[in-house]
Chains A and B, each alone.
Chain A
Amino acid sequence: MAQLTSLTSRAALEAEARRRGEPDWLREFRLRAWDLALGLDLPSRTDEKWRRTDLTGLDLGRVSPEVPAGAPQEVPEAFAPMVGEGKTLVLRNGVAVRVPEGLPAGVIVTDLETAARQYPDLVQPHLMTQAVRPEESIFTALHAAFFRGGAFVYLPRGAQVEDPIQILTWADGPGAGLLGHTLVVAEEGASARVVEYWASAAVPEGTPHLGVVEILTGPGARIDYSGVQNWGPGVWSFTTRRTKVGRDARVNWLLAEFGGELVRSEQYTALDQEGGEGNLKVLFFGSGNQHIDIVAEDLHYPTGRRTVGDIVGRGVLQDQARVVFRGKGHIMRGAKGSTCFLRENALMLNRGCRADSIPSLFIDDDQVERAGHAATSGKVDEDELFYLMSRGLTRKQATRLIVEGFFKPILDTVELPALRRELESLVDRKLGL
């Protein structure tokens, strides 16, 4: 990939990893990923999966793993209301500026770079080996070569974490803060709730963010995960997220795509163990000239008998925003007794926006328990608006109530009050209130 030569060289990447004192295996891992990236191209619009997103103007040569010089090493102001709640890890420009205390025995919550040094036996077997792999795309390959900071959550067998684990990521500008990696590993029977929030200052238009989230669960484990993306203006965000659900395990995960200029957000629930269940909710709110391209897939592999996958996509569009929602449920041959359901609702607040949805189903096994999808798009109900306005609300206030009602079932799953308030105010800011 030609753009990359302006970014670094193999030798420089190697020298940098040594300078940071990274373990040998991680350095080797990064170099392999770099070699892979050089052989990969940007996706072409002739590829059906990328047909609806124009990457003209994207310069991956602008990916920067540097921590900006003189960057503050304290909790950013934007996160001040939230840090007092839950077990919180705060990363600023790829550096941990606050780590949680008082975790149950054996539970680890720290930044991924530190974890790679301190717990190589726990990190190496899980980092981009089972869920997301470097070779998936140029974005995941580059991410593997350059990821910085990041979060590592480890739950040993049977561990129960009562307080939600909160991961807050902030970037003051281009650099290491836009290269985070989240790795959650839950061993057999463990359970926790993890919430994550990404935000940044405004950056020059077209600054890439390359993210990966991996959630691995052992037998009977349970993870409730919420991630809220609120990158500043100018960010072009590319994130691949995948959970691998263990036998009889359950992952409930929610992603909210609010920020950024151009967003490509992929999430996959991989169900390859009997009895696994993955419930995925994706929320979006496109405004201004935002382009948000969402992929959400349930993959019931042949070994994933009696697995349950559910996808709900729900979002609002206004101004000239364009949203693409590509949902997919695939029950492969052998995944008997499985259930797979997709739902999508888009609410369009004004003319000029565009919503594309492609909720596909691929069924290769006849012993399907239940499979289906449903999608709706439309505008705010005039009758509802009229009713609210007849009660003395302005049109804007009435719209706000309706939009909040639309998001409510999902916002209700965010348990930390400060983060929830932040989300509500995010919706209001989007609505121009």
Chain B
Amino acid sequence: MAREALDFLPSEYKYGFRDPEKYVFKARKGLDREVVEQISRMKGEPDWMREFRLKSLEIFLSKPLPTWGADLSQIDFNDIYYYVKPTEKHARSWDEVPEEIKRTFDRLGIPEAERKFLAGVSAQYESEVVYHNIRKDLEEKGVIFMDMDSALREHPDLVRQYFGTVVPPTDNKFAALNSAVWSGGSFIYVPPGVHVEIPLQAYFRINAQNMGQFERTLIIVDEGAFVHYVEGCTAPIYSTDSLHAAVVEIIVKRGARCRYTTIQNWSHNVYNLVTKRAVAYADATMEWVDGNIGSKVTMKYPAVYLMEPGARADIISVAFAGKGQHQDAGAKVLHLAPNTSSQITSKSICKDGGNTTYRGLVQVAKGATGCKVKVNCDALIFDDNSKTDTIPYMEIMEEDVAIEHEATVSKVSEEQLFYLMSRGISEQQATQMIVQGFIEPFTKELPMEYAVELNRLIELEMEGSVG
């Protein structure tokens, strides 16, 4: 294939527009006790949460940057706005959302999506959730879906019981940072036996320059219940970088199932450093469907701790790295009980100097007999400047297990291209078809609207690739 044929720059980031910055409150840049206390005071939080934030700040300051993974040395923690409040109140009806913000989300397609098929929607703009809504019937069944700040006020006992139990602030530097300055995010509680058949959805948008977004999501799926949560993220393009450091904690109780789908499409100036972890109890299933298309640097390894027999983890991810991007993503599964199983499928694509890394850990603890593990990592590399690494760690402390791991790296095959082109398909279309076929195991897990959207995104990324 001619080199020029692959010259498709991700030049067109369609969510790169920005809105004028109009905020009711913007904390000063930088981070210290005062800023943290200010955030807590503004939110009128209980003492325990303020203490939790301050303790987390100390942990954040004492931990060094990770020495592995992507290059984070360019992040200037003093040049970031840790808290930006865009509006005084948050709306339950779309009409109440301030005009500029509404326009932004209109352009992102939120109400449209909601009208079509969603059970509930939440939209976060900078640090605060500006809008959320949930279908009446679900609310009547006792399903709680609200932003994290409201949940702390309205369901303090439930929040206090679970908050920080899955991802403690000591887990890593960015979990500590989030714990200190978190704002927004979703809180979901699904009562026993309730099946939320259509997805709940959240949109995250960074608009301000040098903004840090630190949302905090907590999902509790009670016994035998089911929920599918979908999130999407975008940001405008600024010449300086933004930071997104979220923490997601999920508790999947006995016999329950949770699916969490992410389409991460931050603009190419966002450091996306996210800790996502679920604990799954007896016969529960946790599914992470994780697509990483945007951002400058992503370090994200959705995790499942399999706590009791019969628990299951399914992690399927796609990473797409173009010019200047490093997607350091993967999965982490800890088998802590007998007869637990996990399946990890990872698809990476890199081009135009992009760098993808699959980094994963599978651990089988002593006593976790009868576990089954299957890991599959495939990478597609388009050109000489790009780079793809596969680094799976397997720590097996039990003999009665079945572990399988497979990985492949390939270029787009000339034969496939030739075959398609001999059928009258252009080289660009043929390449797109090959890429779409490559990530099909991922797209088929998405709700239809998202699958269409993802394919469109991929097409956009590949645009202009061939003449």
Is B397 positioned at the interface, with any CB of A under 8 Å from its CB? yes
Interface: A137 (CB within 8 A): no
Question: Among the listed B391, B396, B407, which residue makes an inter-chain contact with A377, where contact means beta carbons less than 8 Å apart?
Answer: B396
Q: Which of B68, B383, B395, B401 contacts A356 (CB 8 A)?
A: B395
Interface of B, helix, strand, loop or mixed by DSSP: strand
Whether A391 sits at the interface, judged by CB under 8 Å, is: no
Question: Which chain A residues (353-381) contact chain B, with CB distance < 8 Å?
Answer: 353-368, 370-379
Asked whether A351 lies within 8 Å of B394 as measured between CB atoms, the reply is no
Q: Which of A354, A355, A371 contacts B408 (CB 8 A)?
A: A371
Name the residue on A nearest B403 (C-beta): A377
B389 contacts A377, C-beta separation under 8 Å = no
> Are A346's CB and B396's CB within 8 A?
yes
Distance A349 CA – B400 CA, assembled complex (angstroms):
9
Contact between B392 and A360 (Cβ–Cβ < 8 Å)?
Answer: yes
Residue of B nearest to A382 (CB): B400
The interface residues of chain A lying within 8 Å CB-to-CB of B390 are 360-362, 373
Contact A366 B398 (CB under 8 A): no
Interface residues of B in 395-420 (CB under 8 A from A): 395-411
Q: Mark B326-358, 1 if CB is under 8 A from A, else 0.
A: 000000000000000000000000000000000
CB nearest to B371 among chain A residues: A378
**B410 contacts A358, C-beta separation under 8 Å:** no
A348 within 8 A of B: yes
Q: How large is the interface on A (under 10, 10 to 19, 20 to 34, 35 or more residues)?
A: 35 or more
Given contacts A363-B388, A372-B407, contact A378 B395 (CB under 8 A): no
Measured CA separation A370–B396 after assembly (Å) = 28
Q: A363-B388, A366-B386, A367-B411 are in contact. Are A375 and B379 (CB under 8 A)?
A: no
Asked if B404 contacts A376 (CB within 8 A), the reply is yes
Which B residues are CB-close (under 8 A) to A368? 381, 409-411
B406/A374 in contact, CB under 8 A: yes
Cα distance A350–B397 in the bound complex, in angstroms: 10
Cα distance A354–B368 in the bound complex, in angstroms: 13
A62 interfacial by beta-carbon distance below 8 Å: no
Instruction: For the complex, give the distance between the alpha carbons of A364 and B411 in Å.
Output: 11
Does A101 have its Cβ within 8 Å of any Cβ on chain B?
no
Q: Please, which residues of chain B bring their CB within 8 A of the CB of A362? A: 387-390
Interface pair B381/A376, CB less than 8 Å apart: no
Which residues of B have CB within 8 Å of A363?
A: 379, 381, 387-389, 409
For the complex, give the distance between the alpha carbons of A350 and B399 in Å. Answer: 6
Q: Can you name the residue of chain B whose Cβ is closest to the Cβ of A325?
A: B394
Q: Does A400 contact B (CB under 8 A)?
A: no
A363-B381, A370-B410 known; A354 vs B403 contact (CB < 8 Å) = no
In the bound complex, residues from chain B placing their C-beta under 8 Å from that of A372 are 406-409
**Measured between alpha carbons, how far is A379 from B399 in the docked complex, in Å?**
5
Whether A48 sits at the interface, judged by CB under 8 Å, is yes
With a cutoff of 8 Å between Cβ atoms, the chain A residues found around residue B397 in the complex are 353-354
The reply to whether B396 and A373 form a contact with Cβ atoms under 8 Å apart is no
Given the complex, which residues of B lie within 8 Å of A367, measured CB to CB? 384, 411
- Residue of B381, B396, B410 near A355 (CB, 8 A) is B396
Task: Give A415 to B385 CA distance when docked, in angstroms.
Answer: 45
| Most A C-beta atoms less than 10 A away, residue of B384, B386, B399 | B399
Q: Is the CB of B386 within 8 A of A348?
A: no
A333 at the interface (CB under 8 A from B): yes
Q: How far is the CA of A355 from the CA of B396 in the complex (A)?
A: 5
Residues of B within 8 A of A359 (CB): 392, 405, 407
**Chain A's nearest CB lies how many Å from the CB of B66?**
11
The closest CB in chain A to the CB of B359 belongs to A360
Distance in angstroms from B60 CB to nearest chain A CB is 20
CA distance A357 to B407 in the complex (A): 14
Let me know if B14 is at the binding interface, CB within 8 A: no
Question: Does A349 contact B399, Cβ atoms closer than 8 Å?
Answer: yes
A361 and B409 contact, Cβ closer than 8 Å, known pairs A48-B68, A356-B396: yes
Residues of chain A with a CB closer than 8 A to B392's CB: 358-360, 375
Q: How far is the CA of A360 from the CA of B392 in the complex (A)?
A: 6
Q: Which residue of B lies closest to A367 (CB)?
A: B411
Interface centre among A354, A361, A367, A374 (most CB of B within 10 A): A361
Query: Bound state CA distance, A33 and B134, in angstroms?
Result: 72
Contact with B along A210-239 (1 / 0, CB 8 A): 000000000000000000000000000000
A360-B396 contact in complex given A351-B366, A376-B404, C-beta closer than 8 Å: no
B382 at interface by CB-CB < 8 Å: yes
Q: Which residues of B contact A358 (CB under 8 A)?
A: 391-394
A377 near B394 with CB under 8 A, answer: yes
A199 to chain B, nearest CB (A): 29
Least Cβ–Cβ distance between A313 and chain B, in angstroms:
12
Q: Which of A363-418 contact B (CB under 8 A)?
A: 363-368, 370-379
Interface centre among A317, A349, A352, A375 (most CB of B within 10 A): A375
Tell me how far the C-beta of B400 lies from the nearest C-beta in chain A, rounded to whole angstroms.
Answer: 5
Measured between beta carbons, the chain A residues less than 8 angstroms from B381 are 363, 365-366, 368
> In the complex, what distance in Å separates the CA atom of A370 from the CA atom of B381?
12
Closest chain-B Cβ to A345's Cβ sits at a distance in Å of 10
State the CA gap A366–B404 with chains docked (Å): 26
A293 to chain B, nearest CB (A): 13
- Give the complex CA separation of A162 and B302 in angstroms: 56
CA distance in complex: A282, B389 (Å): 23
Known: A48-B68, A351-B400, A363-B379. A373 touches B406 (CB 8 A): yes
Q: How many whole Å from B432's CB to the nearest CB in chain A?
A: 17
| Interface pair A353/B394, CB less than 8 Å apart | no
In the complex, what distance in Å separates the CA atom of A317 from the CA atom of B401? Answer: 14
Residues of the A chain whose Cβ atoms lie less than 8 Å from the Cβ of B68: 48
Minimum Cβ distance to chain B for residue A308 (Å): 15
Write the nearest CB–CB distance from A355 to chain B, whole angstroms: 5
Q: Shortest CB–CB separation between residue A58 and chain B, in angstroms? A: 23
* Candidates A355, A374, A376; contact of B407 at CB < 8 Å: A374
Interface centre among A356, A366, A371, A373 (most CB of B within 10 A): A366
Provide 15 A-B residue pairs closer than 8 Å at the C-beta atoms, listed in order of the A residue. A48-B68, A333-B384, A354-B396, A356-B394, A361-B407, A363-B389, A366-B381, A366-B382, A366-B383, A366-B386, A368-B381, A368-B410, A373-B406, A374-B406, A375-B394
Which residues of B are interface residues toward A (Cβ below 8 A)? 68, 366, 379, 381-411
A350-B399, A361-B407 given; 8 more Cβ-contact pairs under 8 Å: A48-B68, A356-B395, A357-B394, A359-B407, A367-B384, A368-B409, A379-B399, A379-B400
Q: What 8 A-B pairs are tightest by C-beta distance, nearest first?
A: A348-B399, A371-B409, A372-B408, A375-B405, A379-B399, A377-B403, A361-B390, A360-B391
